[in-house]
Amino acid sequence: MSARQYVTFRVGGALCAVDVLQVREVIEHPGWYPVPGSPSEVRGLINLRGQIVTLIDLGLRIGEAARETGDVHTCVILKTDGDVDATSQALERTRADAVGLVVDRMHDVRSIDESQVAPPPANVAVERRRFLDGVVQLDTDLLLLLRIEAVLDLFSQPGAQDGRAPGSREAA
C-alpha cells in the first residue's frame, strides 16, 4: 500500500534511488556542452528535443565520485514544474529549470515499501546526510534514497558559493 516505485542507478560506489514520479526519462550518451565558469557540479547543457537541460554531476554533488572530466554516459532527466501534475502534487515544487542527473549506470525500477526505509546510518558523513531521505538495506547493497531538492539546491550549501564541490568524500 505504502510502497512506491523507485528508479535505481549506480553512481561511483553507491546505489541510489529516485522516486519514479520525479523522473521524466533516462537518456544515454547525449551530446553535451560545457558552460565555462559554471560550478563544477554543472557538467553542461544538452538539447533535449528543443529544451535546454542542465546536467548536474550527481557523483560529484553527493561526494561519491571525483569525475570532473570524461563523457556523460547516462542522464536521469527529472521532471520540471510543468511536468509535475496532479498525481504527484505531493512532490515539492522547486524545479522551474529542466535538470538531468549524470549517473554511471542504470539499474532496475524497484518497489520499496515505506517500512523498509531506515534513517541514514550514523557512519554516513554529515555532508552527505542532507542529500538522503533514507536508506534501504538490500541483500548486497545499501540503497540510498536521494532527497532531490537538496541535491539540486546548489547554492545554499556551505561552501557552494564558490562553485566547489562539498569537501568530504568519506565512504558510507
Chain residues binding other proteins by CB under 8 A are: 31, 33-39, 41-42, 45-47, 50, 52, 54, 56, 96-99, 154-155
Residue 5 vs 40, nearer CB to other proteins: 40
Instruction: Quote the CA–CA distance of 103 and 83 in Å, as a whole number.
Output: 22
Residue 30 vs 120, nearer CB to other proteins: 30
Closest distance between other proteins and the C-beta of residue 154, in Å? 6
Residue 13 vs 34, nearer CB to other proteins: 34
Contact 15, 143 (CB under 8 A): yes
Instruction: Quote the CA–CA distance of 58 and 66 in Å, as a whole number.
Output: 10
Q: How far is CA 82 from CA 21, 24, 25, 89, 116, in A?
A: 13, 11, 14, 11, 31
Closest distance between other proteins and the C-beta of residue 108, in Å? 29
Closest distance between other proteins and the C-beta of residue 147, in Å? 18
Closest distance between other proteins and the C-beta of residue 114, in Å? 32
Closest distance between other proteins and the C-beta of residue 140, in Å? 34
Residue 13 vs 159, nearer CB to other proteins: 159
CA atoms within a 13 Å half-sphere pointing along the CA-CB vector of 6: 27
Contact 19, 87 (CB under 8 A): no
Instruction: Quote the CA–CA distance of 46 and 163 in Å, as a whole number.
Output: 20
Residue 38 vs 88, nearer CB to other proteins: 38
Instruction: Quote the CA–CA distance of 138 and 110 in Å, as a whole number.
Output: 11
